């Protein structure tokens, strides 16, 4: 009995250890030099410019991340490792919040310890350098901030569905979270849409007052309208059968990236192509998703399943899935390898965790399937994937330094030898001017105190 109780805390302990590993990883492999899109910020660091903060960046409005970048730059002479440390704190907050919302707050009993190990094991394999771009590139604060705000909104809404009396403070946090998510990364719009669906469902079920639904709907519409009013131009897609098939393959590959390495193109098992293995895995996950949702749609409606974590899990699953669909619309032309991108794997994590929580915390499915055998097998797989991801992660970290260390030698090499994508695609003249600003203002690596 005591052993089972200790085992229940094992995922939390291992998650803590993994976050410590992640912290050391950040210190060892990060560089105090702007990388890629960060070069576009340099000319805006001297003065707070609202127009720049509000301006779109590709298909995103990253108002809050830009504001954070500016504040940190002023406080640290743009020591970029401050951004990376903030990214680590945001990532730690995301993982801790997921542990709390999916395991601690599930009201598990002692008999649920194996399920804790399964979901905890999934959290562990995602707490690895699968996310190396989000760990080593300060620019990715935008994804982490938007993601944290999104899951906070989902959780508080699901709490209302479980009978928690809606409070003004919770509603204010939901509204603020949706605004921060929407104006940090484009996926915040998807989070707002899912929050609107959740609020509409809860309103129909009379779990929340219709005024709460109106406030959430108004927030989402305000963010959506201001978002697209700010974006320059609009994307036009002339879909045909080939593109639809390509998008479908992209989505399925994205859903199965958990076992594949983005940089090396390797996968854990015998299939050498990471894309093929991810496509096969994603197809399996999608099939399981359809089966689970079809079997549970009745209980969700008839048995007030919004009172359980099932409601929260579905929101996570839909979030990860819809993000994958939206990514396929804008990235499928880059090929299936784009679906393996490290920066987007955090969204795949929500899909996998949402699906796992539906499967492993559903009492009827536990009776249907013999999980005693499967659980042991999955724990073994989780351990293999975890070790594999860290081994590959060390290789990726060394590769990151080897790739971008050229940016620390701009004084001694020809500017013509610097790949355009390393400096955000800016012109040679802009690069020379930005380099002068870094030197004159003693920013980033050119500030002796920040080295």
Number of separate domains in the chain: 1
Give residues with Cβ within 8 angstroms of 77, minimum separation 6. 441, 442, 443, 444, 447, 449, 450
- Residue 88: the pLDDT is 95
Average pLDDT (419-436) is 82
Residue 246, domain member (yes or no): yes
- Residue 270: the pLDDT is 44
pLDDT greater than 70 at residue 114: no
Average pLDDT, rounded, for the chain: 81
- Residue 147: the pLDDT is 96
Structure tokens at 356: 């796992």
Average pLDDT (35-57) is 87
Distance (Å) of CA 186 to CA 52, 59, 182: 17, 7, 6
pLDDT greater than 90 at residue 117: no
pTM value?
0.90
Residue 450, domain member (yes or no): no
Structure tokens at 1: 């009995």
Average pLDDT (331-359) is 85
SS3 letters across the chain:
CHHHHHHHHHHHHHHHHHHHHHHHHHHHHCCCCCCHHHHHHHHHCCCCCHHHHHCEECCEECHHHHHHHHHHHHHHCCCHHHHHHHHHHHHHHHHHHHHHHHCHHHCCCHHHHHHHHHHHHHHHHHCCHHHHHHHHCHHHHHHHHHHHHHHHHHHHHHHHHCCCCCCHHHHHHHHHHHHHHHCCCCHHHHHHHHHHHHHHHHHHCCCCCHHHHHHHHHHHHHHHHHHHHHCCCCCCCCCCHHHHHHHHHHHHHHHCHHHECCCCCCECCCCCCHHHHHHHHHHHHHHHHHHHHHHHHHHHHHCCHHHCHHHHHHHHHHHHHHHHHHHHHHHHHHCHHHHHCHHHHHHHHHHHHHHHHHHHCCHHHHHHCCHHHHHHHHHHHHHHHHHHHHHHHHHHHHHHHHHHHHHHHCCCCCHHHCCHHHHCCCCHHHHHHHHHHHHHCCCHHHCHHHC
Q: Which domain holds residue 387?
A: 2-32+79-230+241-409
- Residue 306: the pLDDT is 52
Measured CA to CA, the distance from residue 430 to residue 425 in angstroms comes to 10
pLDDT greater than 80 at residue 295: no
Which has the closest alpha carbon to 134: 95, 191, 173, 177?
95
- Residue 274: the pLDDT is 76
- Residue 96: the pLDDT is 93
- The percent of residues in the chain predicted with pLDDT above 70, rounded, is 81
pLDDT digits (tens, 9 = 90+) for 154-201: 999 888 866 656 678 888 999 999 999 999 999 999 999 999 998 888
More confident residue, 439 or 304: 439
More confident residue, 412 or 122: 122
Average pLDDT (62-88) is 93
Average pLDDT (63-81) is 92
- Residue 404: the pLDDT is 86
Chain CA centroid to CA 45, Å: 27
Region for 269 from its dihedrals, namely left if φ exceeds 0, alpha if ψ lies in -120 to 50, beta otherwise: beta
Residue 371, domain member (yes or no): yes
CB 187 within 8 A of CB 218: no
More confident residue, 163 or 311: 311
- The percent of residues in the chain predicted with pLDDT above 90, rounded, is 28
pLDDT confidence tier of residue 304, bands split at 50, 70 and 90: low
More confident residue, 365 or 90: 90
- Residue 1: the pLDDT is 44
Measured CA to CA, the distance from residue 253 to residue 249 in angstroms comes to 6
- Residue 109: the pLDDT is 44
CB 434 within 8 A of CB 39: yes
Measured CA to CA, the distance from residue 48 to residue 151 in angstroms comes to 30
Residue 265, domain member (yes or no): yes
Residue 311, domain member (yes or no): yes
Average pLDDT (72-86) is 92
Q: Which of 41-55, 177-191, 351-365 has the lowest mean pLDDT?
A: 351-365
pLDDT digits (tens, 9 = 90+) for 252-277: 988 888 777 655 455 554 445 778 88
- Residue 228: the pLDDT is 80
CB atoms within 10 A of CB 49: 14
Residue 215, domain member (yes or no): yes
pLDDT confidence tier of residue 366, bands split at 50, 70 and 90: low
Which has the closest alpha carbon to 353: 97, 19, 91?
97
- Residue 110: the pLDDT is 47
Measured CA to CA, the distance from residue 357 to residue 343 in angstroms comes to 23
pLDDT confidence tier of residue 371, bands split at 50, 70 and 90: low
Average pLDDT (287-298) is 79
Q: Which of 233-247, 386-400, 404-418 has the lowest mean pLDDT?
A: 233-247
Region for 235 from its dihedrals, namely left if φ exceeds 0, alpha if ψ lies in -120 to 50, beta otherwise: beta
């Amino acid at each position: 009995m005591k052993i089972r109780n200790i085992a229940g805390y094992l995922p939390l302990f291992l998650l803590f250890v993994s976050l410590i590993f992640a912290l050391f990883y950040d210190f060892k492999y990060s560089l105090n030099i702007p990388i890629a899109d960060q070069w576009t910020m340099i000319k805006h660091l001297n003065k707070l410019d609202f127009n720049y903060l509000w301006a779109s960046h590709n298909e995103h409005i990253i108002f809050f991340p830009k504001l954070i970048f500016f504040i940190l730059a002023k406080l640290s002479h743009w020591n970029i490792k401050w951004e990376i440390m903030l990214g680590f704190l945001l990532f730690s907050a995301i993982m801790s919040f997921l542990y709390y919302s999916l395991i601690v707050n599930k009201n598990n009993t002692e008999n649920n310890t194996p399920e804790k190990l399964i979901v905890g094991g999934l959290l562990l394999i995602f707490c690895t350098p699968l996310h190396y771009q989000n760990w080593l590139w300060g620019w990715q604060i935008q994804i982490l901030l938007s993601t944290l705000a999104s899951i906070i909104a989902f959780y508080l809404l699901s709490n209302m569905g479980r009978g928690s009396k809606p409070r003004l403070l919770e509603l204010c946090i939901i509204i603020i979270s949706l605004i921060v998510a929407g104006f940090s990364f484009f996926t915040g719009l998807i989070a707002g849409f899912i929050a609107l669906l959740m609020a509409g469902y809860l309103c129909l079920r009379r779990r929340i007052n219709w005024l709460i639904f109106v406030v959430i709907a108004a927030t989402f519409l305000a963010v959506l309208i201001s978002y697209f009013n700010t974006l320059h131009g609009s994307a036009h897609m002339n879909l045909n059968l080939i593109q639809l098939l390509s998008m479908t393959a992209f989505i399925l590959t994205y859903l199965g990236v958990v076992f594949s390495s983005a940089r090396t193109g390797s996968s854990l098992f015998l299939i050498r192509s990471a894309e093929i293995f991810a496509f096969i895995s994603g197809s399996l996950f999608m099939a399981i998703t359809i089966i689970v949702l079809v079997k549970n749609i009745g209980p969700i409606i008839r048995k007030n399943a919004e009172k359980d974590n099932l409601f929260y899990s579905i929101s996570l699953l839909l979030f990860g899935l819809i993000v994958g669909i939206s990514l396929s619309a804008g990235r499928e032309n880059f090929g299936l390898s784009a679906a393996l991108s490290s920066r987007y794997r955090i969204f795949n994590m929500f899909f996998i965790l949402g699906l796992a929580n539906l499967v492993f915390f559903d009492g009827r499915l536990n009776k249907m399937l013999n999980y005693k055998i499967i659980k042991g097998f999955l724990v073994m797989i989780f351990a293999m994937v975890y070790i594999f991801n860290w081994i590959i992660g060390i290789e990726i970290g060394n590769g990151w330094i080897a790739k971008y260390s050229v940016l620390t030698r701009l004084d001694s090499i020809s500017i013509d030898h610097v790949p355009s994508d390393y400096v955000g695609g800016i012109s040679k003249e802009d690069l020379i001017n930005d380099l002068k600003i870094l030197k004159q203002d003693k920013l980033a690596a050119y500030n002796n105190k920040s080295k």
